[in-house]
C-alpha cells in the first residue's frame, strides 16, 4: 500500500468495525523519510519479514502454538517478535476494554506495531483473538497483503470451554466477565485464511510445524 497510513483519532472508530486506513495524514504531520528501509534492514538480518497473524477463540491454542513456532523459527536463526493479546493488553493497550469499539482499537494499534516491527525486518507473530473479519482485513490491508499470513486456530467452542486454560469461560458463564468471545460476543470465522489449523488430536509442536511447512513452501522463512 502506498503513502502514509495515519488514523485520525477523531474518526478512528466506525460503526462497521473497520478503521480509516485510507484516511488523510493528520494536519501538520509530515512523514519523515529514513535512508534505511525495510529491505536493507531485512537483508542485514538475512530473512524475509512477514506478519503471521493468529486468530481463534480464547483457549483455542494461539499463544501455545505461537510460542512453538517462535522456537522453531529461532532454532533456524530467524529474528522474531511476538505480540500476544494478554501481554499487549497489560501494557500498550491497558486502557482498552472488550467492547466492540475497544477491540477494534486494540487491533488497529497491534497492526500498527506489527508493521513497525516488519519495517525493522522481523518475522512478527501476532496472537490475538481478533474476532471480526473486517478488522482482520483492515490489518491485512495496513500491513500489505503480501506480507500477511493469517492463521486460523480452529478449535471447537466446546473444546475451548472444556480446556478453559485461564478459567475465563467459567467466569463468563457466571457473568463475571462481559463481552466474552464465543459466549456473549461474536467470533467471525475466517473465510480464506492462508493456514487453517485444527488442534483437536494434534500437538502444539505439530501445529507449529504445519505453519513452518507453509512458510517454507511460500518461501517466507528463507534467507533474503
Ligand atoms: N494442538 C494444540 N495446540 C495448542 N494448544 C493445545 C493443543 N492441544 C491442547 N492444547 C491446550 O489448549 C490450551 C490453549 O491455551 P492458549 O494457547 O492459552 O490459548 P489462546 O492463546 O488461544 O487463548 C493450552 O492449555 C494447551 O496446552
Ligand atoms: Mg493467548
Q: Concatenated DSSP letters for 111-151?
A: HHHHHHHHHTT-EEEEE-----HHHHHHHHHHH-GGGEEEE
Per-residue confidence (pLDDT) for residue 26, from 0 to 100: 72
Best residue among 165, 169, 205 to mutate for probing ligand 1's pocket (most ligand atoms within 8 Å of CB) is 165
Confidence band (pLDDT; 50, 70, 90) for 11? very low
Per-residue confidence (pLDDT) for residue 10, from 0 to 100: 35
Phi-psi region of 166 (alpha: psi -120 to 50; beta: other; left: phi over 0): alpha
Q: What is the average per-residue pLDDT within 194-223?
A: 92
Per-residue confidence (pLDDT) for residue 47, from 0 to 100: 93
C-alpha torsion sign, points 184, 18, 152, 224: negative
Return the higher-pLDDT residue of 13 and 84.
84
3-class state of residue 183 by DSSP: coil
* Rounded CA Rg of the chain: 18
Let me know: does 73 contact 144? Beta carbons within 8 Å: no
Give the nearest ligand 1 atom to 54 CA: 22
Per-residue confidence (pLDDT) for residue 22, from 0 to 100: 52
What cell does 141 get? 490491508
Let me know: does 132 contact 105? Beta carbons within 8 Å: no
Per-residue confidence (pLDDT) for residue 50, from 0 to 100: 96
The Cα 219–Cα 59 span in angstroms is 30
- pLDDT, the chain, mean: 88
On the question of pLDDT at 210 being above 70, the answer is: yes
Per-residue confidence (pLDDT) for residue 27, from 0 to 100: 77
Per-residue confidence (pLDDT) for residue 1, from 0 to 100: 32
Q: Is 87 in the pocket of ligand 1 (CB under 6 A)?
A: no
The Cα 24–Cα 21 span in angstroms is 9
Confidence band (pLDDT; 50, 70, 90) for 29? confident
Give the nearest ligand 1 atom to 57 CA: 22
Per-residue confidence (pLDDT) for residue 23, from 0 to 100: 55
Per-residue confidence (pLDDT) for residue 156, from 0 to 100: 98
Domains of the chain: 36-218 (3.40.50.300)
Q: How many angstroms is it from 145 CA to the middle of ligand 2?
A: 24
130 is catalytic: yes
Q: Is 155 in the pocket of ligand 1 (CB under 6 A)?
A: no
Amino acid at each position: 500500500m502506498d503513502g502514509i497510513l495515519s488514523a485520525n483519532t477523531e474518526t478512528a472508530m466506525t460503526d462497521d468495525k473497520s478503521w480509516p486506513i485510507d484516511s488523510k495524514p493528520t494536519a501538520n504531520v509530515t512523514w519523515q523519510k529514513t535512508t534505511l528501509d525495510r529491505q536493507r534492514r531485512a537483508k542485514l538480518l538475512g530473512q524475509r519479514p512477514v506478519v503471521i497473524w493468529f486468530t481463534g477463540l480464547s483457549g483455542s491454542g494461539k499463544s501455545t502454538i505461537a510460542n512453538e513456532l517462535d522456537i522453531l523459527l529461532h532454532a533456524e536463526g530467524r529474528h522474531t517478535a511476538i505480540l500476544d493479546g494478554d501481554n499487549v493488553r497489560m501494557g500498550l493497550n491497558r486502557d482498552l476494554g472488550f467492547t466492540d469499539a475497544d477491540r477494534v482499537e486494540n487491533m488497529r494499534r497491534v497492526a500498527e506495531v506489527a508493521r513497525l516491527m516488519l519495517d525493522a525486518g522481523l518475522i512478527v507473530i501476532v496472537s490475538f483473538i481478533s474476532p471480526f473479519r473486517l478488522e482482520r482485513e483492515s490489518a491485512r490491508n495496513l500491513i500489505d497483503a503480501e506480507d500477511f499470513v493469517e492463521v486460523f486456530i480452529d478449535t471447537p467452542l466446546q473444546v475451548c470451554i472444556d480446556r478453559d486454560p485461564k478459567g475465563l469461560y467459567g467466569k463468563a458463564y457466571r457473568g463475571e466477565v462481559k463481552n466474552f468471545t464465543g459466549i456473549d460476543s461474536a467470533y467471525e470465522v475466517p473465510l480464506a485464511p492462508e493456514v487453517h489449523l485444527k488442534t483437536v488430536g494434534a500437538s502444539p509442536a505439530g501445529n507449529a510445524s504445519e505453519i513452518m511447512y507453509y512458510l517454507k513452501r511460500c518461501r517466507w522463512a528463507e534467507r533474503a
